[in-house]
Amino acid sequence: MANPPPQHNSYLPLYTPPQVAHHEWRTAANSAAYLLPSLSALATSTPSLKLLDVGCGSGTISTSLAALIPSGSVTATDISPAILARAADLAAQAGVSNIVFQEADIYALPFADGTFDVVHASMVLSHLSDPVGAYREMLRVAKPNGGLVANRESDLRMWSYYPALPGLRRAHEVLLATTREGGGNVDAGAKLVAWAMQAGVGRERIEVSMGTWMYSSVMERRMWG
């Protein structure tokens, strides 16, 4: 009996207007800071570098990455045509032109082997039933010598909030349950190294770091309202 194809846990029921605002709040500075030193060095040695941002969503991270490599180019992909249209609008509003948006499946990226100098994904693998398969595909389209694959994921179990209001606790429980039931991984951040190794990356080639997001201003808290 054939196995079912891997699934995308694409846009959850909690993907409400406040969550859209949260996604569009993300930038390279607040969501991919770990990548920026390596990207800067690579842009110096390879000014025309090619970067792929997989699962780009609203594209605010993709667009801010493109702004950092003006002589390079960014290809940003997602499975949702509607969200890609929004991403293209935001890039145009930002005046960033060295970026293209393309519909694509992370399990079957429409690019030749070794196309990109950098392959980046932020908060994507947690929504997949086969994150290792997706990781292999990202590795495939990265250059075999000198290419960089960069992933950031959260561990949804580690949310901390005060005061611990019943509504906040319930929202957290619903998010965890919905992610699990949709085939996603609530502990993706903790599994990144293991997934990379299962995809064929030697442990000595993996650099690991950890960061946090804090939401304290009225605007930031409303993004979760």
Give tens-digit pLDDT for 51-66: 999 999 999 999 999 9
Q: Report the CATH number that the domain containing residue 49 is assigned in CATH.
A: 3.40.50.150
Give the H/E segment covering residue 120. Answer: strand 118-122
Residue 225, both tokens: 């309202």
* Nearest CA among 78, 71, 75 for reference residue 44: 71
3-state secondary structure of 19: helix
Domain count, the chain: 1
Task: Decide if 69 contacts 39 (C-beta within 8 A).
Answer: yes
Asked if the structure places residue 217 within a domain, the reply is: no
Task: Evaluate whether residue 135 is within a structural domain.
Answer: yes
pLDDT at 33: 97
pLDDT in the model for residue 6: 58
pLDDT, one tens digit for every residue, the chain (225 residues): 444 445 554 555 455 665 666 778 899 999 999 999 999 999 999 999 999 999 999 999 999 999 999 999 999 999 999 999 999 999 999 999 999 999 999 999 999 999 999 999 999 999 999 999 999 999 999 999 899 999 999 998 998 888 889 998 998 999 899 989 988 999 999 999 999 999 999 999 999 999 888 878 887 777 665
Q: CA-CA distance, 99 to 113, in Å (whole number)?
A: 20
Report whether 220 contacts 157 (CB < 8 A).
no
User: Which residue segment(s) compose the domain that 69 sits in?
Assistant: 17-155+187-206
Q: CA–CA separation, 96 vs 63, rounded Å?
A: 7
Residue 86 lies in a domain: yes
Q: Rounded CA gap, 67 and 73, in Å? A: 9
User: Token match 């030193």: residue?
Assistant: 37
Contacts of 2 (CB under 8 A, 6+ apart): none
Inside any domain, residue 171: no
